[in-house]
Structure 1
Amino acid sequence: MNIAITGLEAVREIRDGLPVELIDEAIRDGLVTAVEVDQLAVPRKTLAHRRQIGRLSVEQSDRFIRLLRIIATAEDVFESRQKAAIWLRRSTTALEGQSPLQLLDTDAGTREVESLLTRIAHGVAA
């Protein structure tokens, strides 16, 4: 899966509501699990309703893109999908014993994860 939308194009796509199929594709490609989507982007019951509509809401689209952006950043930093997946799901003292994915339910938590990834990329944190 390659979510290549960025900048103002991403803003337009999010405002229009992303197609529900993107969630299915991300799960099928092993980027996220259905449980992670349920916890971090779109609750299971809401997703079932959104399947009938075909598109996510603006808020759901924004949360889902945020999740995919962090996954892509971690893959870039670790230069491996497998290493990124392990890092995202493993608790770390740098995040007070939480895993990076656990923090992605809020913008503030996402910023902490992004900051940590930046430090790792620059060799400041392990």
Structure 2
Amino acid sequence: MKTLHINDLDIGQDESCRAYSYFLTGQALKQSCESRLDVIECLRVGYPYYVIVFILESTTISRKDLSNILHISTRQLSRYDKDDLLPAELSGPIYEFSRIYARGVDILGDRATFEGWLNRPQLALGGQVPLHLLDTTEGIRLVNDLLSQIEFGFYS
């Protein structure tokens, strides 16, 4: 009889690592990411600037909305070069945005549906647009909690 060990199970990529690398699709990671501790180190080193470019090109998020989430002016955001590493102060909010984005796409089924939801006022958020709440920690929690409610069928 063969014994099954938890380490033998293929349970996929850690959720934190998946969120970290969500917008790094097709790009070689300079650091490996296999655990939450790896994510912390990667965020301390900083996201490469091309993640900003990729977010702006592959989503409907505007430069203005992204700069609001990052608490940086659009002008200052444009000063980075393609190969620059972003400071940890910007990498953290990008990571939180990618966590919400990846989770929302999983729950609502596709990018277009999630982005539509993200840009519409939500009754459960007091009529606020979820995207406009992502500039604060508490706003991120509220949006994440609402996604959990949708996931488990408590809100539609």
TM-score (norm 2): 0.73
Higher alpha-carbon Rg: 2
RMSD: 2.0
Which of the residues 101, 113, 121 maps onto 1:91? 121
Percent identity, please.
Answer: 27
Structure 1 contact 37–43 (Cα < 8 Å) conserved: no
Counterpart amino acid of residue 124 in structure 2: A
Does the 8 Å CA contact 2:49/2:80 hold for their aligned counterparts? yes
| Aligned residue number for residue 102 of structure 1 | 132
Structure 1 segments (4+ residues) deviating >4 Å? none
Which structure has greater helix proportion?
1
Question: Aligned pair in 2 of structure 1 residues 3, 24: CA closer, same or farther (>3 Å)?
Answer: closer
1:1-126 equivalences in 2 (<5 Å): 2-3=22-23, 7-30=36-59, 32-41=61-70, 42-51=72-81, 54-126=84-156
> Is residue 107–residue 151 contact of structure 2 (8 Å, CA) maintained in 1?
yes
Partner Cα distance (1:26, 1:52) in 2 = 13
Partners in 1 of 2:98 and 2:60 — Cα distance?
A: 8
Supply the distance in 2 between the matched residues of 1:53 and 1:3 (Cα, whole angstroms): 15
User: Taking structure 1 as reference, are residues 117 and 52 closer, same or farther at Cα in structure 2, changes over 3 Å only?
Assistant: closer
Q: Comparing 24-33 with 12-21, which one deviates more in the overlay?
A: 24-33
TM-score by length of 1: 0.89
> CA 1:9–1:32 in structure 2 vs 1: closer, same or farther (change >3 Å)?
farther
Kindly provide the CA deviation profile for residues 13-49 of structure 1, in whole angstroms up to 9, marking residues without a partner as x.
1101111111101111125221221111242122133
Alpha-carbon deviation of 1:10? Answer: 1.6
Is the Cα contact below 8 Å between 1:19 and 1:55 reproduced in 2? yes
- Using a 3 Å threshold, how does the CA distance of structure 1 residues 66 and 79 change in structure 2: closer, same or farther? same
SS at match of 1:50: coil
